Amino acid sequence: MNTTLLRITFLFLFPVLGLFCPAQSGPQITVDAGRTGSAISPTMYGVFFEDINFAADGGLYAELVKNRSFEFDHPLTGWQVMKKPSTKANLLILRDETRERNPRYIRLQLEEGQPFRLHNDGFRGMGIRNGATYRFALQARVIHDDLFTLRIELVDENKNVLAEAQMSNISQEWQTYQCEMQASETAEKGGLNIWIKGQGTLDLDMVSLFPKDTWKGRKNGLRADLVQLLAELQPGFLRFPGGCIVEGFDLSQRYQWKHTIGEPSERILNINRWNFEFKHRLTLDYFQSYGLGFYEFFLLAEDIGAEPMPILNCGMACQFNTAELVSMDDLDPYVQDALDLIEFANGPADSYWGGIRAEMGHPEPFQMNMLGIGNEQWGPQYIERYTVFAAAIQENYPDIQLIAAAGSDATIFPNGQEEIDYLWSQWRNLEPDFVDEHFYRRPEWFLENVDWYDDYNRQGPKVFVGEWASQSVGVASPDNRNTWETALYEAAFMIGLERNADLVRMTCYAPLFAHEEAWQWRPDLIWFDNLRSYGTANYYVQKLFSVNAGTHLLPLQLFDDSHQNEEAKHLFAGAVFDENTGDIIIKVVNATNQSHVVQFELENVEVKETGLVYLLTSESLDDENTLQEPDKIVPQENSIKPESSEFSHEIQPLSLTVLRIPATKR
């Protein structure tokens, strides 16, 4: 065995198989298809959403106007005012305390009938598409019976008008005025003009512009191309809303789901913690409008067939920031938020919170089964708070599965491993359903730790690998790239996650989205600008695992007599059975620079039909997908016709290969 490379997927379930060692040279993969092992959770592969890198406002949320309600710290952020020097006009910021959740609006006092223009430049410009229809809306009123005419224009970066519409007859009561416009050209960095003509006083608020073509054509909707990329991952769950954004820089800035539901104009704007988190990537115009709020997250999860997985603040602000704690005496409202959220998601339409969901358009429950208590929390203060949450939830909703944190990545928070060991010792007693572990490490770490979970303690909670990604330079370094090396080594690590699917029940890459011009953290799974989007090589690794997850593990052995050097250790394989299709699915990661003709043997099945092979590879480990070359590293699909249950297939250098072989059990 000293020169024979041996990888056994079922160390725990099938230990005796290690005794068998075939004579052939060259790598051989043997799968015993007659012995299905642990079930793979249908929620094994999911997605992690956090509003970082303009993932929500300026990204997935299709609103094109930045600071539509004038509630940013600087009320005119995103807005420019243009008037002729001779125009007599005042622009005032007013505050109406009776409009508690959205108190500010602007007042325009025009003394002459001269044109006055407001311009909004969106989120690093507005993406406008030739032929597309846009919905413009604003809230307005006049004082007395003043007369105003508004001309709405969509313009490109050179001020050419791409679409226009007129509005008039503004009443003395606040009302919403809407119109639609069709663009005659495309602009990546377009903008919105509101030309105002009249005399007197005009109040404006909630100035909004959406493409009509949102995901499923919904109003207040999401960017269709970005949701499409998510849907194609076929995720088992959608984790939201984060990430550290759950915790906030301090507790006043924490994520409060109740601030994110109801009419968009009634959602309470909050600063985004990524606004000022990284001094090297300050993003001072980054706020949370919550137009994409908890209702929309639940709807999105439903649309893409994912289980909703909200993560709630547990009375602790980010421990990398202020680490504020709510006192135990004041914890009740936080716990009540969790109970109310369960009612909002799952309660009948005649319950209080279920009624609000129904009013928003979804009388049927969302069927939420999981809830995270805290994000990257650690220390005895966390245990103390978690315990109160868990008791209340278990008493009222015993079926809800709870997720507890195991701190942050052990290498980046103070005394990381010690803290994690302490948390696990607590979790083994308190028994949350899942413990959320995070890994942000160098690519080689993922390659060298494929066996990370093989010997894990299997007593107690299951593992949720809830945030992880290979960092090509360093944790959250601005120089990190989504290289093929990072993706390939992640694929190797996923072979290890999958073969431990009895313990690791869920996993998701983080973060999910990044705007090309407005990111704070890289690498990320999906990149976009105002018009385009693409999946990284890491995205396609996630996708190949997710759409080929299968339903049950199969015992697999990988032998390699011919390659006795260190490099040959970098060949990894795992097998699963898909009871829905009858396919045997074998995933092979070749992290070496040479191709291998692998002999496959599928035991206890007959193989007759043509199967499929997906190949993800690239020549260089430095390669990456970009906006200019979004398809440089994408899976290629081919058919495979094995002559029998023993066949060979050449595994390409630096590749992830997925074979789907239809088979009949003997």
Instruction: Catalog residues that contact ligand AHR under the rule CB under 6 A.
Output: 50, 52, 242-244, 375-376, 408, 467, 510-511, 521
Answer whether 653's CB lies under 8 Å from 539's CB.
no
550: left (phi over 0), alpha (psi -120 to 50) or beta: left
Answer whether 498's CB lies under 8 Å from 211's CB.
no
Answer whether 545's CB lies under 8 Å from 657's CB.
no
The residue from 376, 437, 498, 624 that is catalytic is 376
Give the Cα separation of 147 and 202 in Å (integer).
9
Q: Map residue 140 onto helix, strand or coil.
A: strand
Residue whose CB is less far from ligand AHR, 245 or 497: 245
Q: Map residue 91 onto helix, strand or coil.
A: strand
Give the Cα separation of 123 and 55 in Å (integer).
11
**Residue length, the chain?**
666
Q: How far is the CB of 244 from ligand AHR (least distance, A)?
A: 4
Q: How far is the CB of 524 from ligand AHR (least distance, A)?
A: 9
Residue whose CB is less far from ligand AHR, 386 or 559: 386
Strand partners, 94: 105
Residue whose CB is less far from ligand AHR, 29 or 510: 510
Q: Map residue 242 onto helix, strand or coil.
A: coil
Answer whether 460's CB lies under 8 Å from 431's CB.
yes
Q: Which one, of 657, 643, 619, lies nearest residue 27 by Cα? A: 657
Taking CA atoms, 555 is separated from 12, 15, 19, 571, in Å, by 10, 10, 13, 17
Q: How far is the CB of 281 from ligand AHR (least distance, A)?
A: 13
Residue whose CB is less far from ligand AHR, 50 or 153: 50
The dihedrals phi and psi of 120, each to the nearest 5 degrees, come to: -120, 130
**376 a catalytic residue:** yes
Q: How many CA atoms lie within 13 A of 121 on its CB side?
A: 13
Residue whose CB is less far from ligand AHR, 247 or 623: 247
Query: Which structure tokens are listed for 229?
Result: 């990329």
Do strands 104-110 and 133-142 pair parallel, antiparallel, or not at all (unpaired)? unpaired
Residue whose CB is less far from ligand AHR, 102 or 538: 538
Q: How far is the CB of 247 from ligand AHR (least distance, A)?
A: 8
Residue whose CB is less far from ligand AHR, 70 or 297: 297
Q: Which one, of 41, 39, 42, 37, lies nearest residue 12 by Cα? A: 37
Q: How far is the CB of 56 from ligand AHR (least distance, A)?
A: 13
Answer whether 264's CB lies under 8 Å from 219's CB.
no
Answer whether 651's CB lies under 8 Å from 616's CB.
no
Q: Which position's Cβ is nearest ligand AHR?
A: 243
Contacts of 72 (CB under 8 A, 6+ apart): 78, 269, 285, 287
Look up residue 478 and give its DSSP letter: T
Give the Cα separation of 232 and 238 in Å (integer).
13
Q: How far is the CB of 448 from ligand AHR (least distance, A)?
A: 22
Answer whether 270's CB lies under 8 Å from 253's CB.
yes
Q: How far is the CB of 433 from ligand AHR (least distance, A)?
A: 20
Give the Cα separation of 176 and 205 in Å (integer).
9
Give the Cα separation of 304 and 234 in Å (integer).
7
Residue whose CB is less far from ligand AHR, 375 or 599: 375
Q: Which one, of 496, 491, 454, 500, lies nearest residue 470 by Cα? A: 491
Q: Which one, of 100, 164, 99, 92, lies nearest residue 128 by Cα? A: 164
Q: How far is the CB of 243 from ligand AHR (least distance, A)?
A: 3
Q: How far is the CB of 278 from ligand AHR (least distance, A)?
A: 11
Residue whose CB is less far from ligand AHR, 343 or 376: 376
Task: State the chain's maximal CA–CA distance in angstroms.
Answer: 95
Give the Cα separation of 520 and 180 in Å (integer).
34
Q: How far is the CB of 514 from ligand AHR (least distance, A)?
A: 11
Residue whose CB is less far from ligand AHR, 236 or 374: 374
> Which of the residues are catalytic?
376
